[in-house]
Amino acid sequence: MTRRKFVEVSMATGAAVLAGGKILGSTVRAGLALIAPGTATNSVFKIGGDLEINRLGFGAMRITGEGVWGWPPDRANALKVLKRAVELGVNLIDTADAYGPETSELLIAEALHPYPKRLVIATKGGLTRPGPGDWEPNGHPDYLKACVDKSLKRLRLERIDLYQLHRIDPKVPMEDSLGAIKEMQSAGKIRHVGLSEVTPAEIERARKVLPIVSVQNRYNVSDRKWENTLSYCEKENLGFLPWSPVGGGRGLKSGSAVDAVAKARNASVYQVALAWLLQRSPVMLPIPGTSNVQHLEDNVAAGKLKLTSEEWKSLAA
């Protein structure tokens, strides 16, 4: 790519840094643009090339009961959190039939249907719930097809914008599970398809069955096990939805560089963790989960926190 072309692409995405004609840091190819890690500034990303997402989304797993089971203790509060997320400009809500099970999808419809025009609800199927805190994969084709129909009904949708296979079931060939999802897509019940907890090799294998637009793997500032999958998504311009973006149940490592940056910027560690993710890559679409309106507002505000290159370096270690 010539320097002129690179600058044109950079201006179009607002997401690259040039120093004396050289790109800072190690670079990756993200769609058309060359991006240095830590320099992403795009506020939106198009999932599947057509669904424009404000990059900071919301995860609706935490609006259920204890152990992601049943109804939340304060149902009115859960509805308030969902409504506030949309008011604050969130237009990607991640859920799954397994959250509750069923209650997360039902609450989303109760709070937000009829849905605002640009709202994207991403749901999942393929994990069953034997009890509170328990999760078991089921990737049988007939089961998955029934899951899609039931999610459509609960969410009061005619088509699901993003349907994600929650887990690859080791007992079922991935091609059979995805073949069932492809059938539902061909029937007009699903717009785009995503995967969860997958390696680059698994994504490649899945893409032989049907187009994949996004991946959802655990990833945050203190847990970067899936760096290889993130790189693959950048190279192929797939959306990457990091789950546990602020540490999930485990929290973030304390006494870390994150604490120091948070203190210096008068921000919370959650806000620094989210700002780090947004800056990390232009394909990053964090979906922090909360059952608390104040926490939600704080998380959305993190979209405005820009880390300096020194802060970035201190967190990169």
Ligand X SMILES: NC(=O)c1ccc[n+]([C@@H]2O[C@H](COP(=O)([O-])OP(=O)(O)OC[C@H]3O[C@@H](n4cnc5c(N)ncnc54)[C@H](OP(=O)(O)O)[C@@H]3O)[C@@H](O)[C@H]2O)c1
Binding site for ligand X (CB under 6 A): 59-62, 94, 196-197, 216, 243-248, 268, 270, 287-292, 295, 298-299
Pairing between β-strand 92-94 and β-strand 120-125 as defined by DSSP bridges? parallel
Q: Which value, in Å, is the radius of gyration of the alpha carbons in the chain?
A: 19
Would you say 125 or 288 has its CB closer to ligand X?
288
| CA dist., res. 192 & res. 174, Å (int) | 17
Nearest to 126 by CA among 156, 153, 152, 163: 163
Nearer to ligand X by Cβ, of 33 and 122: the residue is 122
Catalytic residue, candidates 99, 115, 232, 270: 99
Between 270 and 312, name the residue whose CB sits nearer to ligand X.
270
Residue 166 or 189: the one with the smaller Cβ distance to ligand X is 166
Q: Is 99 a catalytic residue?
A: yes
- Give the integer Cα–Cα distance in Å for 188 and 303: 34
**CB nearer ligand X, residue 96 or residue 257:** 96
To the nearest whole angstrom, how small is the minimum distance from the Cβ of residue 289 to ligand X? 3
Characterise 156 by phi-psi region: left (phi > 0), alpha (psi -120 to 50), beta (else): left
- Kindly give, in sequence order, each residue whose CB lies less than 8 Å from that of residue 81, ignoring residues fewer than 6 positions away: 63, 290, 291, 292, 293, 296
Distance separating alpha carbons of residues 198 and 205, to the nearest angstrom: 11
**Shortest Å, Cβ 48 to ligand X:** 18
Residue 254 in tokens: 């304390």
Tokens of 179: 């073949």
Closest approach, Cβ 209 to ligand X, in A, equals 20
d(CA 60, CA 67): 13
What is the full DSSP assignment across 167-212? ---TTS-HHHHHHHHHHHHHTTSEEEEEEES--HHHHHHHHTTS--
* In the complex, minimum distance from the CB of residue 251 to ligand X, in angstroms, rounded to a whole number: 7
Q: Report in angstroms how near the CB of residue 174 gets to ligand X at its nearest.
A: 16
Q: Cite the active site residues.
A: 99
